Amino acid sequence: MRRTRLLTGVLLGAATALLALAGPVAADDDTSGKAPTEAGTSFRTAAQMQQDQKATASASTGDYLYWSYPADAGQRPTVRATVDLSTAQARHGAQTWRIDVYDGLRRRQSCMYGMQARTVPAEAKSVDLACTLRPVRAWSEAWANDPLPGTYYVRLTVTSLADADLGQPVSASVEAQSKDLGSSAAVDGKLSTPLVPGTTASAEKAAPADGWSSGWWTGRWVWTAAGAVLAALAGIGGYALTRGSGRPVGAP
């Protein structure tokens, strides 16, 4: 009986530790490296940034501005952009600004919510935009348009304005942040490599600060192990309850 109690205590301790690991892992706050202070003008020249960095750029109204950032499985990224219009001369009419987010295959990703496009009057000093993507999945069917681990591109531009306002100076800032969804976003399967355009070296260069997880470790592993431990505990408990005094059934 003493040995049974000891084994039960060990298994209970292991189960507690496994369940504690089942929660979302805290995001790495390492944002080493300076945020870019300019933007690219195409997908190929997009300025690279890490999540939680605020990238900035000076441009002219009408330019297409591009940035890129990495997103990994289990994350739900939100991209925010602010366009400062205060340095421009008196404008002649309203302007409509818009951000679009594309994955590593340059497929435009829809926003779950957020003000992706906004029209501001001529006297406005700034415009704020936001786009929250669907959760990034570790794997998906080839025909699906689900967000997958890899590089994501942000494009910022004005889509409507008075002709006389074309070319006026503006400044912009862009930031990407993610909520870690943990095992709630886990799926079976994983990509062989993240969707990062270019070579393997490009994938390493564009990786998150803490590297690519590619979805190989999820909360499902923890819950499976915890279930096995709890099943063992149930077996031990059932044996201890039914063993009785150890004498055969019906013995005097």
Enumerate domains of the chain plus CATH numbers.
19-221 (2.60.120)
Q: Which two tokens stand for residue 59?
A: 């441009």
What letter represents residue 106's amino acid?
R
C-alpha to C-alpha distances, 207 to 34, 43, 54, 193, 228, nearest whole angstrom: 15, 17, 17, 11, 35
3-state secondary structure of 43: coil
Residue by residue, DSSP assigns 46-93 as PEE--TT-EEEEEEETT--EEEEEEE-TTEEEEEEEEEE-TTS---SS
Q: What is the pLDDT of residues 96-148, one digit of tens each?
A: 999 999 999 999 999 999 999 999 999 999 999 999 999 998 887 878 889 99
The most distant pair of C-alpha atoms in the chain lies apart, rounded to whole Å, by 106
Tens of pLDDT, residues 160-175: 999 999 999 999 999 9
Q: Is the pTM of this model over 0.75?
A: no
Mean pLDDT computed over 53-58: 97
pLDDT digits (tens, 9 = 90+) for 192-250: 788 998 766 666 778 888 788 744 455 555 555 556 667 777 777 676 777 655 555 55
How far is it, in rounded angstroms, from Cα 150 to Cα 206?
A: 8
The listed range with the strongest mean pLDDT (21-35, 39-53, 79-93, 197-211) is 39-53
Tell me the backbone φ, ψ of residue 16, rounded to 5 degrees.
-65, -40
Report yes or no: 57 and 172 within 8 Å, Cβ to Cβ.
yes
Q: Assess whether pLDDT exceeds 80 at residue 157.
A: yes
Location of structure tokens 């302007």: 95
